[in-house]
Chain A
Amino acid sequence: MKLTAEPPMDESSEVVKARRLGLGFWLPTGWMILIVGVALLAPVLPLKDPTDYFIRPGERPPYPPSADHWFGTDQDARDMFSRIISGARVSLAVGFMSVAMSFIVGGAIGMVAGLVRGWFDRLASFLFLVLLSFPGLVLVILIITLIDRSVLTISVTLAIAGIAPVGRLARAATMSFAEREFVIAARTLGARNSRILFRELLPNVVIPMGALVLLGVAAAIVAEGGLAFLGLSLEKGETWGKLIRNGAGSRVLRDSPWVAFGPITVMFLTLASINYIGDYLRDFFNVRETGLGR
């Protein structure tokens, strides 16, 4: 009996994969590994205390970058380098936590709505519509003025703002896959909804959602910055938004730009890296999906 020895497309798709992930992917990935690593390890790294005042007698801060203070100091003579890293801990935490929450909640609602349809779908769609129509900023301000301004509440608040767009994407992606024949085949075999959701739909829906995860992290980091400008970010501790705001006064900008440009540069590089990686991954997975045999 002659059987299929080797599927025809095997080798070629590996070649595609190898060519796809070039420098344009690894450079931003390297930056992300660096920034996340440093943020995680900050407590054990030999860094200066971000809250310490390094006042040099006879000199008025802010001090420009030097061997002692790589990114200079702020107006209170605190070390910008360690403050940026301390800010990274909060900004990245807010970014990833809020996205994780909005994807779990929005993704679950959207996927179930897209699969079961009916009244649940109508309710979910209505909820998404209300969330999208409600001015996000007002919602955020309302919540954080009513409760408190901790990392958790800010993350939850931003997560709520993210539920609707994530949920709608999850619903649309689920619906497009739920009509495919492989889902019908699973049903004729006797699969329950839960099995179809986790085995058939989730692995497919995760792909278009994956690129959005990274975009969401970037958006949350920016949103936190916006809150900082309104003076509504964390009450205690540093974030990139608060650092930038601190350096953004017109006199400070003119006389000592390093106070703002340090955090701006780091934030820009991080956001650009996240968006680049997102794009690369999306293209990469598109190839995997459409690179079909004859």
Chain B
Amino acid sequence: MTGRQAPLLSVRDLKVVFPTPIGMVHAVDGVSFDLEAGQSMGIVGESGSGKTVTAKTLMNLLPSYALVDGSVTFDGRDLRALSAERKSEKHLWGVEISMVFQDPMTSLNPVKKVGEQIAESLRYHLGETRTAARRQAGDLLEQVGIPEPGRRLDEYPHQLSGGLRQRVVIAAALACEPRILIADEPTTSLDVTVQKHILDLLDDLRAERGMSMILVTHDLGVVKGRTDEVMVMYAGRTMEEAPTEEIFSRQSHPYTEALMETIPKINSAGHTRLMPIPGQPPVTTSPPIGCPFADRCRYTTDRCVAQGPLLEALGDDHQVACHTPVGTPAAETALAANAARGHTATGLEIHHSGVPVGAVADGPAEQV
């Protein structure tokens, strides 16, 4: 992020709370980030991390009972104020900011021809004629790599394979030349051999059109080598934000580190003992005062429990919300102290080697 000119999209201290019968669910708990024109960003997190709710907020797709706080500014316009007015800005969402969802089958209308579904938004938002819209729908299908686009225009979604369907969804999302494309788990329901094609396609289209993109995923592997920046979310908060290569080469948050270690590697030997993350995420109805990862982290100190770390710059473009970022002297001191006393400040048992008990080879399974 250069910061010289105003970013295309700016999110500041976003909070989203859902009132439910079991209490207030703090789905997003103070998230801030900027997205420059032409930049691509990955939002990575597990289920319950708030990544999808963040995306839905940008897309104005939250249910009306959700309580939202903070600011979302797009190209100088306050999106939250616009969403409150509703009518006046119907040509913003779906035109300038557009979204691709996880399941292509549910985002397409099963009883409408593919061509009509794409042409529809061109006619509605841009006021194009029927023939012009159809011609452009054909062009779009070609651009997203669908063979024989002319024939496909008149087919129904069920006649297409999963990969082709997702290409149609992408074509529809691109129809009005959005400036930001939000892709929420765009390849999770697809096979691996198709997944790579779709991700490459999205990246190529982004570069070609100078569009910005937000790629929301649970899979760190998906953003690797694809996005400019990655934001790692956990329990509704941002844990770490950094250029993508740095997330993989020099991750600073213990959660990011733990996430990397827990994933089986295709290139490591068979039967390599995996390193699970001990414990469970905090209950979203009562977010902790301190760091939400403190219960599961091997570096946890008393300070982590007492005071939630803020997102702070750790170097150029690298921000982390941690009192003891991995690789700093603070982390080494904390880990050495925890290993020496056998447990962390939250009572998580630690081996003298610094590995949480339960992650080691012969230990009994601990709870999920």
Whether B21 pairs with A15 at a CB distance below 8 angstroms is yes
Segment among A2-10, A34-42, A52-60, A185-193 that sits at the interface with chain B: A2-10
A294-B47, A294-B48 as given contacts; A4 in contact with B367, CB under 8 Å: yes
Residue of A nearest to B357 (CB): A2
- Chain B 352-367 residues near chain A, CB threshold 8 A: 358, 364, 366-367
Q: Across the interface, which residues of B come within 8 angstroms of A4, CB to CB?
A: 367
Whether A2 pairs with B358 at a CB distance below 8 angstroms is yes
Bound together, the chains give a CA A15 to CA B23 distance in angstroms of 10
Whether A16 pairs with B21 at a CB distance below 8 angstroms is yes
Whether B22 pairs with A16 at a CB distance below 8 angstroms is yes
Whether B22 pairs with A8 at a CB distance below 8 angstroms is no
Residue of A nearest to B279 (CB): A2
Interface string of A1-39 (1 = CB under 8 A from B): 111110010001001100100000000000000000000
Residue of A nearest to B363 (CB): A1
> Any chain A CB within 8 A of the CB of B61?
no
**Main SS of chain B's interface residues?**
loop
Which of the listed residues A2, A5, A15, A16 has the most CB atoms from chain B within 10 Å of its own CB? A2
Bound together, the chains give a CA A15 to CA B285 distance in angstroms of 14
Tally of A-B Cβ pairs under 8 angstroms: 22
A2-B366, A2-B367 as given contacts; A8 in contact with B21, CB under 8 Å: no
Whether A3 pairs with B280 at a CB distance below 8 angstroms is no
Q: How far is the CB of A184 from chain B (nearest CB, A)?
A: 23
User: Residue B283 contacts which of A3, A5, A8 (CB distance < 8 angstroms)?
Assistant: A8
Bound together, the chains give a CA A180 to CA B367 distance in angstroms of 26
Q: How far is the CB of B246 from chain A (nearest CB, A)?
A: 30
Bound together, the chains give a CA A4 to CA B367 distance in angstroms of 6
Bound together, the chains give a CA A2 to CA B296 distance in angstroms of 14
Bound together, the chains give a CA A156 to CA B262 distance in angstroms of 64
A8-B280, A8-B283, A294-B47 as given contacts; A15 in contact with B364, CB under 8 Å: no
Whether B367 pairs with A15 at a CB distance below 8 angstroms is no
Q: How far is the CB of A111 from chain B (nearest CB, A)?
A: 31
Bound together, the chains give a CA A4 to CA B21 distance in angstroms of 25
Whether A19 pairs with B280 at a CB distance below 8 angstroms is no
Q: How far is the CB of A2 from chain B (nearest CB, A)?
A: 4
Q: Across the interface, which residues of A come within 8 angstroms of B280, CB to CB?
A: 8
Bound together, the chains give a CA A2 to CA B22 distance in angstroms of 27
Q: How far is the CB of A79 from chain B (nearest CB, A)?
A: 48
Bound together, the chains give a CA A16 to CA B285 distance in angstroms of 14
Bound together, the chains give a CA A2 to CA B364 distance in angstroms of 8
Bound together, the chains give a CA A8 to CA B285 distance in angstroms of 12
Bound together, the chains give a CA A202 to CA B296 distance in angstroms of 42
Q: Across the interface, which residues of B come within 8 angstroms of A3, CB to CB?
A: 367
A1-B364, A8-B283, A294-B48 as given contacts; A19 in contact with B21, CB under 8 Å: yes
Q: Across the interface, which residues of A come within 8 angstroms of B285, CB to CB?
A: 12
Q: How far is the CB of B242 from chain A (nearest CB, A)?
A: 28
In the complex, the 10 A-B pairs of residues with the closest C-beta atoms, listed nearest first: A12-B22, A2-B366, A4-B367, A1-B364, A16-B21, A19-B21, A15-B22, A2-B367, A15-B21, A294-B48
Having A4-B367, A12-B23, one finds 6 other A-B pairs with CB under 8 Å, namely A2-B366, A3-B367, A15-B22, A16-B21, A16-B22, A19-B21
Q: List 19 A-B contacts (CB under 8 A).
A: A1-B364, A1-B366, A2-B358, A2-B366, A2-B367, A3-B367, A4-B367, A8-B280, A8-B283, A12-B21, A12-B22, A12-B23, A15-B21, A15-B22, A16-B21, A16-B22, A19-B21, A294-B47, A294-B48
